[in-house]
A and B are shown apart, each in its own frame.
Chain A
Amino acid sequence: MNDAQAKLTVRGLKVFFGQFLALRGVTMDIAANEVLGIIGPAGSSKTTFLRALNRLNELTPGTRVEGTVLLDGEDIYHPACDPVMLRKRAGMLFALPVPLPMSIYDNIVYGVRLCGVRTRARLDELVEQSLKAAFLWDEVKDRLRTSALRLSGGQQQRLCLARVLAMEPELILLDEPCSGLDPISTARIEEALTALKARYTIILVTNNTKQAARVADRTAFFLMGELIEYGPTNQLFTTPHDSRTDDYVTGRFG
């Protein structure tokens, strides 16, 4: 794949926390409308990589980044790039569902309102659209004005997904979104992701290798801050190039 068609081009990306080198130079291309799975044992800097893509790492004091990340050819670490604008283009779903303590409706339009969308009709439309896309609409359509904190864990995570979708981002970054969910809720999230692939580029960090196998088009394997290898999911799971990948996907460690 050449650079021209890549949605994201990552070259030599390093992230330091103080003196500690957390991400040791990652180079990869991510195509538009693909689901990229990222697997690897705990502490392999999968999340750090993800948070480097929407510049959320820099909220932690003492963080330093080297290398380049191009989103549609634009350097997101260029001084002229506004991280606030970047985060509107790259939505993120966290490991634990974090509904803000407000109504379901207000949660979903939180980001959109900040972008200046005020008309009631447009907001209503966005709420319905994104809740439907996150497969949550039927369960909550009659209580949009009630607190989002009253939803179950699985519903909360789908609400968070809907909240990201309402921003109409180009990129969706998912940080182990199902780690706290039961199998049924997980299945619903995965169902939503598969349906969303047509419109978004999705990067899914997961601790669950089976989930990567189910959802991802391509999968990358991270170990100790290094990208060991990445390729089509099938190939990575059946005939990996690196023996460490083989050990991990067959469950010999991790």
Chain B
Amino acid sequence: MRLPAKHTQRLAVLILGGATALTLCVLLFIIFVVLKTGLPVVNLHFLLDNPRDMGRAGGIFPTFVGTFLLPLVAIAFALPLGVGTAVYLTEYTRETRITHIIRFGTDCLAGIPSIIFGLFGFIFFVVSLGMGWSLLSGGLTLAIMVLPTIIRTSEEAIRAVPYAYREVSFALGATRWETVLKVVLPNALPGIVTGVMLSIGRSIGETAAVIFTAGSSLRLPRSVFDSVRTMAVHFYILAREGISNENAYGTAAVLVITVLLVNMATYWLMHTFIARRAR
């Protein structure tokens, strides 16, 4: 039996719309539950005080700071490395066996569970290189973890820059490097920023890789060699060890709001950047 085209069209709209609505509902429900359980303990003191008694009392200020610093260190390493690799793969080499192997390698890297990165970071950075549990060890480990995302999104963004732009640039006497710097990268920027944003999101929410490499110190870090605790790790420890469920959900609420704010800020930055260029 065949339905008339008009009905299949309606059915398609219904199913697709339903899928979208369901996704949105799940997201809103999660946010609602976390905020409802967590927000009652959140106030200015909770945000700005040091934790006391292992986090049973007091606030979460050092973990708040750690949550910002750790992804920052990770991106500082992963961004130049990842964008550099993407530029090399797209602009400087032809498709050969080697580029396929490199791409296959980065894809494999993307599929590795984060706990493996944590163990690797622990053995390599923390122990072998003697960096200890620190902001640096954690940042480097997260950098390796988000590298495939940054390479892939940057590569796609760079490929999407029209070939004609490069041709024009070359015809005007630009070298390949000048073309990359002045034409390719500025036009690929929104895509690269998207990759960075995804990476920040993953870093902020990461626990397994962080707990093994950055440790879980509740003190404010004074250098990159100090251990830090992120909000995600704090939540994990508070809940796992039954220290304080209220404060655990309070931390989760702040974490969710932080992620939302980071996303909104990045979108805003990106849009103003695009608007400024297209003025």
Q: Which residues of B contact A91 (CB under 8 A)?
A: 171-172
Tell me if A149 and B278 are in contact (CB < 8 A).
yes
- B175 interface residue per 8 A CB criterion: yes
Q: Which of A7-15, A92-100, A128-136, A232-240 contacts B (4 or more CB under 8 A)?
A: A92-100
Q: Which of A107-115, A188-196, A203-211 contacts B (4 or more CB under 8 A)?
A: A107-115
State which residues 161-204 of B face A: CB under 8 Å: 162, 164-175, 178, 182-183, 186-187
- B7 interface residue per 8 A CB criterion: no
- A117 interface residue per 8 A CB criterion: no
Q: Which residues of B contact A92 (CB under 8 A)?
A: 171
CA–CA, A165 and B112, complex, Å: 54
Q: Which residue of B lies closest to A85 (CB)?
A: B173
CA–CA, A59 and B91, complex, Å: 11
CA–CA, A98 and B279, complex, Å: 17
Q: Which residues of B contact A102 (CB under 8 A)?
A: 277
Q: Which residue of B lies closest to A112 (CB)?
A: B172
Tell me if B277 and A59 are in contact (CB < 8 A).
no
Output the least CB separation between A95 and chain B (Å).
Answer: 10
Task: Select A100's contact among B94, B169, B173, beta carbons within 8 Å.
Answer: B169
Output the least CB separation between B272 and chain A (Å).
Answer: 15
Given A98-B164, A146-B279, A61-B171 contact (CB < 8 Å)? no
Output the least CB separation between B16 and chain A (Å).
Answer: 33
Cross-chain pair count, CB within 8 angstroms:
66
CA–CA, A244 and B185, complex, Å: 48
Q: Which residues of B contact A94 (CB under 8 A)?
A: 164, 167-168, 171
Output the least CB separation between A50 and chain B (Å).
Answer: 11
Q: Which residue of A lies closest to B183 (CB)?
A: A100
Tell me if A84 and B168 are in contact (CB < 8 A).
no
Q: Which residue of B lies closest to A106 (CB)?
A: B182
Q: Which residues of B contact A98 (CB under 8 A)?
A: 162, 164-165, 167-168
Given A114-B173, A115-B173, A146-B279, A100-B168 contact (CB < 8 Å)? yes
Q: Which residues of B contact A88 (CB under 8 A)?
A: 172-173
Output the least CB separation between B263 and chain A (Å).
Answer: 25
Q: Which residue of A lies closest to B171 (CB)?
A: A92
Q: Mark B248-279, 1 if CB is under 8 A from A, else 0.
A: 00000000000000000000000000000111
- A197 interface residue per 8 A CB criterion: no
CA–CA, A213 and B190, complex, Å: 47
Tell me if A59 and B278 are in contact (CB < 8 A).
no
State which residues 134-152 of A face B: CB under 8 Å: 145-147, 149
- A163 interface residue per 8 A CB criterion: yes
Q: Which residue of B lies closest to A149 (CB)?
A: B278
CA–CA, A146 and B277, complex, Å: 9
CA–CA, A72 and B187, complex, Å: 38
Q: Which residues of B contact A160 (CB under 8 A)?
A: 168
Task: Select A111's contact among B162, B164, B174, beta carbons within 8 Å.
Answer: B174
Output the least CB separation between B169 and chain A (Å).
Answer: 7
Q: Which residues of A contact B168 (CB under 8 A)?
A: 94, 98, 100, 160
Can you list 10 A-B contacts with CB-CB less than 8 angstroms, sorted by A residue number? A59-B170, A85-B173, A87-B171, A98-B168, A100-B165, A102-B277, A111-B173, A111-B174, A149-B278, A164-B172
Interface residues of A (CB under 8 A from B): 54, 56, 59, 61, 84-85, 87-88, 91-92, 94, 96, 98, 100-103, 110-111, 114-115, 145-147, 149, 160, 163-164, 167
Enumerate the 7 nearest inter-chain pairs by beta-carbon distance, A residue then B residue, closest first. Answer: A111-B172, A88-B173, A92-B171, A87-B173, A98-B164, A98-B168, A147-B278
Known: A59-B167, A101-B165. 10 other contacts (CB 8 A): A59-B166, A84-B174, A87-B171, A92-B171, A94-B164, A98-B165, A100-B183, A110-B172, A145-B279, A147-B279
